[in-house]
Amino acid sequence: MKKLRNSLTQMLDYYSLRLAQRFNFMIFEDDAYYFINFEEAPSKRARSYLALEREVNGETGRVIRFDSLSKIVSSGMRLGFLTGPLPAVQKVIKITENINLQPASTTQFLALALFRHWGYPGFLKHCAKAANTYGQKRDAFAAAAERHLKEKATWDIPTAGMFFWLTLRLPPCMDSFDLLSTKGLENGVLAIPGVAFMPNIRKTCHLRASYSLITEVEMDEACRRIAKLVDDAWGSQLDLAKT
């Protein structure tokens, strides 16, 4: 799964596709934030596995791609779309019918009417507008982080999506999960600890913070509180050292 469109270089994409062909395995490309991309030039945007497969392997059929309307239309619609080889798509349809029958008919009709009204150009225009909105929020959160977290954490500016991945400068052996589940809750900080994204469930100093729904004032306060958590973590270590 690609994370925010910048976790894998195109060379690694090529390598993954060639391995899929060589060892005959499928690639499931879950890319919910593809259309919330902040790169102004389309040429700078990472190309999907689905788009690269024929170019790299000279054939298609080993990539199944998942996209979502939750991030670009409405999360309440609970709708997405799947692209891939027909036999695989047919199997997914049968499995879905046996598990939950289908998504709500009303939201499906609403989505269909919306897409017919937009057309493909209109859909892309809407996605660009949504990306611009989230891009402004991204910039505001980056500014707040720069004000409050410059000495407390490190981060990369995301090129897509609605999250910041922060690496806190915590004392050795301290875990962001323990920090967020105790002092974080006490101080009104709700973020996802890095352990949730680690396959081996190891301790980390990372957290994922969302900027999608909060205002600039709230972003500033959030970063101030995160900075305080880091300061308090070091303070508690000093207190332990004195005892």
Predicted structure pTM score = 0.86
Question: Which letter does DSSP use for residue 28 in this model?
Answer: E
Domain of 224, in residue numbers: 134-242
The answer on 149 and 78 residing in a single domain is no
Total domains in the chain come to 2
pLDDT 10s digits, 123-134: 999 999 999 999
Separation of alpha carbons 16 and 24, rounded Å: 11
Domain end among 104, 126, 149: 104
Q: What is the pLDDT of residue 11?
A: 84
Q: In this structure, are 6 and 89 located in the same domain?
A: yes
How would residue 3 be classed by pLDDT, with cut points 50, 70 and 90? very low
Residue 37 above 60 pLDDT? yes
pLDDT for residue 46? 78
Does residue 50 contact residue 12 with C-beta atoms inside 8 Å? no
pLDDT of residue 42: 64
User: pLDDT > 90: what percent of the chain?
Assistant: 76
Is the confidence at residue 226, as pLDDT, over 90? yes
Instruction: List pLDDT tens digits, range 179-196.
Output: 999 999 999 999 999 999
Structure tokens at 109: 């009709």
One domain for residues 160 and 209? yes
Reported as a single tens digit per residue, the pLDDT across 57-77 is 999 999 999 999 999 999 888
Reported as a pLDDT band with limits 50, 70 and 90, residue 41 is low
pLDDT at residue 7 is higher than 50: no
Query: Is residue 128 assigned to a domain?
Result: no
Note the pLDDT of residue 6: 47
Q: Are residues 169 and 92 in the same domain?
A: no
Cα separation of 44 and 26, whole Å? 26
Name the pLDDT band for 228 (thresholds 50, 70, 90). very high
Per-residue exposure over 82-114, b if at least 16 CB sit within 10 Å of its own CB, e if not: eebeeebeeeeeeeeeeeeeeeeeebeeebeeb
Q: 63 — alpha (psi -120 to 50), left (phi > 0) or beta?
A: beta
pLDDT for the residue numbered 197: 93
CATH code of the domain containing 232: 3.90.1150.10
| 49 and 1 inside one domain | yes
- Asked if 99 and 152 sit in the same domain, the reply is no
The answer to whether residues 70 and 8 belong to one domain is yes
Provide the pLDDT confidence category of residue 101 given band limits of 50, 70 and 90.
Answer: confident
Radius of gyration (C-alpha) of the chain in whole angstroms: 21
Residue with tokens 């006490």: 186
Distance of CA 147 to the CA centre of its chain: 24
Together in a domain, 37 and 97: yes
Q: What span, in angstroms and rounded, lies between the C-alpha atoms of 222 and 79?
A: 31
Are 185 and 86 contained in the same domain?
no
| 156 pLDDT higher than 80 | yes
d(CA 175, CA 178): 6
Say whether pLDDT at 173 is over 90.
Answer: no
What pLDDT score does 211 carry?
97
My answer on whether 215 and 139 are in the same domain is yes
